Structure 1
């Protein structure tokens, strides 16, 4: 079984592919002063960029874990998600409230996808 890493760094890789599966690293916003809609758009844009670099798209995403620092942001995150999600190929999804690594970060998402190159 072949394992390959996309943009490996000293701490982690952007994504790891194993056979027909792709595991994306947690995608985070860049605008830590933005509200949940700004941050959610940034995170989803990052997911799109990683999938494009792998040769795929959001249609290849099988599962997403959404982590929110405040569950009061659930509705705002869902409004952006609903605009973004591929209606023909929605992934499985779970959302939970957690303490995130950086102050100001309101959302982080982790995705598992089909390897478009397998």
Structure 2
């Protein structure tokens, strides 16, 4: 059985299939806050979606990060490293990419296991 949560005409923000949990790409709600603020915003959204699936950060298996500009890599990592903590780090990839809007500095997608 597949459960889709926060569905729009184009995509679901969260899909649960058995014990597998996958989010769509998440971008900041407030784009005026710079890379650190956008990273915090997106990670808070990821936490909220994981909670809807009944899983916490310890269930994260993989995180995919897209940065509009790789010069933001260190500033993003400062926020990400504090968020992920020293335990249960997921596999991660981070690439530079043109995002859907010039206002978006970061997009994050997560995969978890319940």
Q: How far apart in 2 are the matches of 1:27 and 1:87?
A: 23
Output the aligned Cα RMSD. 1.0
Superposition pairs of residues 81-96 of structure 1, within 5 angstroms: 81-96=80-95
Secondary structure of 2:12's aligned partner: coil
Q: Give the gaps of 5 or more residues in structure 2.
A: none
Contact 1:69 1:107 in 2 (8 A): yes
Q: How far apart in 1 are the matches of 2:51 and 2:20?
A: 15
How far 1:86 sits from its partner (Å)?
Answer: 3.7
How far 1:58 sits from its partner (Å)?
Answer: 1.0
**Structure 1 partner of 2:8:** 9
Q: What is the aligned length? A: 114
Q: How far apart in 1 are the matches of 2:14 and 2:85?
A: 21
Superposition pairs of residues 58-73 of structure 1, within 5 angstroms: 58-73=57-72
How far 1:103 sits from its partner (Å)?
Answer: 2.0
Runs of 4+ in 1 over 2 A off after TM superposition: none
Superposition pairs of residues 1-118 of structure 1, within 5 angstroms: 2-114=1-113, 116=114
Q: Give the gaps of 5 or more residues in structure 1.
A: none
Range that drifts further, 19-28 or 89-98: 19-28
Secondary structure of 1:10's aligned partner: coil
TM-score, with length taken from structure 1: 0.92
